[in-house]
Structure 1
Amino acid sequence: MSVDDRQDDGTGHRSSPTGPRVAPPRQTPSPFAARAEARPSPPPPPRQANVASPTRIFRFSLPSIIIFVLLLSSVAIQAYRDLSRPGAWDFWRETYIAASMTSAVISDVDLDGSGHGRRALAISGKIGSASASWFRDRLSEARLAPGDAVLLSSPGGALNQAAIMGEVIRTHGLVTAVATADAAGKLRPAACASACVLVYAGGLTRYGVAGSRLGVHRFTTSAPVGDPLAEAQRIQGMVLGYMTKMGVSSAIVEAMSQTSDIRWLSQKEALALNLITKPVDQP
């Protein structure tokens, strides 16, 4: 039997011998705590996409670098070979840097003194490796109509380019004259020699302006060839076929072959060769 050592305090309650026991205070829950518990927890942050770092994007493997270098080298070698061909550098320079010829559009030129003006494109300078393409562009910009004129002042140049320019003139139904003109359309004598004569021959009507000069000579090539004689014959045949097509006498080839220097034709000679088809007494 255990002995209860608690003592009665007179109220019917027993107290501990060490002193009265005090019940812990009852805690009232805070309304703020309840609100905090009721508040939903924030959603977890969204997961970021698996994006590669910049250093990983631009990371190249050694084989890919080698392939890139080989491709770049092949392009450079091909470009060098293209520019090493005769005339290739001149063609590139004239196309992308500076043309060898200049042009001007004159709105009213009276070629024959009749008082009837026409639109004209005056071109001057050396006929270069890309002059035919340049000439087409200038014609397009000038908007010449059939019967309008191309005025020439040139020492010559590339034979094949000159032939193409003459063909373009004939296709457009234009006339030609060896002359320059001021802004008012006043003509001045000029010279057209060597390959320029082929451009002049392209005109449907070829005006002979008084004081202007037409010069011819034997054509040669500066490119290395295996048989120079055969190449000379080929060039002569090409010039003969072109001039005959344009209505010029075949005798002009004989006049060209007589000298390697410029031979200036008199107006009488040019008329006899049908190179000039309409003489003009006054410039």
Structure 2
Amino acid sequence: MSVDDRQDDGTGHRSSPTGPRVAPPRRTASPFAAHPSAPPQPPAPPQGTMASPRGTFRFSLPSIIIFVLLLSSVAIQAYRDLSRPGAWDFWRETYIAASMTSTVIPDVDIDGSGHGRRALAISGKIGSASASWLRDRLSEARLAPGDAVLLSSPGGALNQAAIMGEAIRSHGLVTAVATADASGRLRPAACASACVLVYAGGATRYGIAGSRLGVHRFTTSTPVSDPLAEAQRIQGMVLGYMTKMGVSSGIVEAMSQTSDIRWLSPQEALTLNLITKPVERP
């Protein structure tokens, strides 16, 4: 019988009439062959590409050039913005540290009537971003019309002060020059220069005994081609603002008399209608 005539007995062995059953030769598995139960492997990425779980990314020279140009345009615009007068101060106060501080006082009796009100006490120099800072503080304090803003400041940016006063008036708040402790007890304070414009924003302006209001002639620190015209512009702006807030136009004359701080007497402040309600005791 030929080899091809051997019969398989069903066990994988072949029988032979001339000899014992012979097992068929085994196939040797490759050590690199995948296990039968393993999932199929993806093909290797072609050269020049980088595979990632989310897909294949390919970097080309044009895309790199476009990215560099976009980044450069952003950097140039940022440099131009920060090169403007006061821009760095505005950025620093907005994102790093504000020039003013605030405290919410839950219950303050300003006029000694026994009627308490909520108050926001602010202090420090009025900076380039103080107006937006105050808006945020007013929103957080949730003051209602008739609540108070207590001021203690040497002054600062004139334009910012006018915007702060407008914000106080739009909320229907009253103002007073004072500080307060946690119990709501008032202490006299000083409000000078641009701070007076913030104070003027109060719907009612309380004059706390011992507190001081200081005024002076406003100038600009930015170089201008015509200083006289700029001085007249500032004077007109202050006059228009103070008149709008109900303060006598005489306040501008009092300011123009000196470049140093001139402290108004309580009677002068009353005559100019800067103080609208004096309080004899803090």
Look up the match of 2:218: 219
1:128 aligns with 2:127: yes
CA-CA distance at 1:51 after TM superposition = 5.4
CA distance 1:130–1:31, change in 2 (3 Å): same
Look up the match of 2:30: none
The secondary structure found in structure 2 opposite 1:31 is: coil
Look up the match of 1:66: 65
* Mapped partners of 1:213, 1:254: distance in 2: 18
Look up the match of 1:169: 168
CA distance 1:30–1:54, change in 2 (3 Å): same
Q: Which has the larger radius of gyration?
A: 1
Aligned pairs for 1:42-53 within 5 A: 48=42, 53=49
Identify which range, 70-79 or 46-55, moves more after superposition.
Answer: 46-55
CA distance 1:222–1:24, change in 2 (3 Å): closer
CA-CA distance at 1:58 after TM superposition = 4.7
CA-CA distance at 1:77 after TM superposition = 1.1
Look up the match of 1:32: 11
* Mapped partners of 2:41, 2:75: distance in 1: 48
* Mapped partners of 2:140, 2:193: distance in 1: 27
* Mapped partners of 1:100, 1:180: distance in 2: 17
Residues 108 and 184 in structure 2, CA contact (< 8 A), matched pair in contact too: yes
**Cα offsets for 1:97-118 (capped at 9, x unmatched):** 1100000011111111111111
CA distance 1:131–1:32, change in 2 (3 Å): same
- Percentage identity across paired residues of the two chains: 84
* Mapped partners of 2:135, 2:187: distance in 1: 24
The secondary structure found in structure 2 opposite 1:192 is: strand
Residues 45 and 51 in structure 2, CA contact (< 8 A), matched pair in contact too: no
* Mapped partners of 1:83, 1:121: distance in 2: 32
TM-score (norm. length: structure 1): 0.84
**Cα offsets for 1:159-214 (capped at 9, x unmatched):** 11110110011111100000000001110000000000000000011000000000
Look up the match of 1:54: 50
1:255 aligns with 2:254: yes
* Mapped partners of 1:29, 1:165: distance in 2: 103
CA distance 1:24–1:105, change in 2 (3 Å): closer
Give structure 2 stretches of 5+ with no counterpart. Answer: 14-35
Residues 193 and 216 in structure 2, CA contact (< 8 A), matched pair in contact too: yes
**Cα offsets for 1:224-261 (capped at 9, x unmatched):** 21211111111100000000000000000010011111
Look up the match of 2:234: 235
CA-CA distance at 1:32 after TM superposition = 2.8
CA-CA distance at 1:61 after TM superposition = 2.4
TM-score (norm. length: structure 2): 0.84
Instruction: Supply the RMSD in Å over aligned alpha carbons.
Output: 2.5
CA-CA distance at 1:223 after TM superposition = 1.3
**Cα offsets for 1:103-153 (capped at 9, x unmatched):** 001111111111111110000000011101110111111111100000000
CA-CA distance at 1:47 after TM superposition = 8.1
* Mapped partners of 1:24, 1:282: distance in 2: 130
Amino acid at match of 1:246: M
| Count of matched residue pairs | 256
CA-CA distance at 1:59 after TM superposition = 4.3
CA-CA distance at 1:28 after TM superposition = 2.9
Amino acid at match of 2:118: R
Amino acid at match of 2:6: Q
Aligned pairs for 1:262-277 within 5 A: 262-277=261-276
CA-CA distance at 1:66 after TM superposition = 2.2
Amino acid at match of 1:54: M
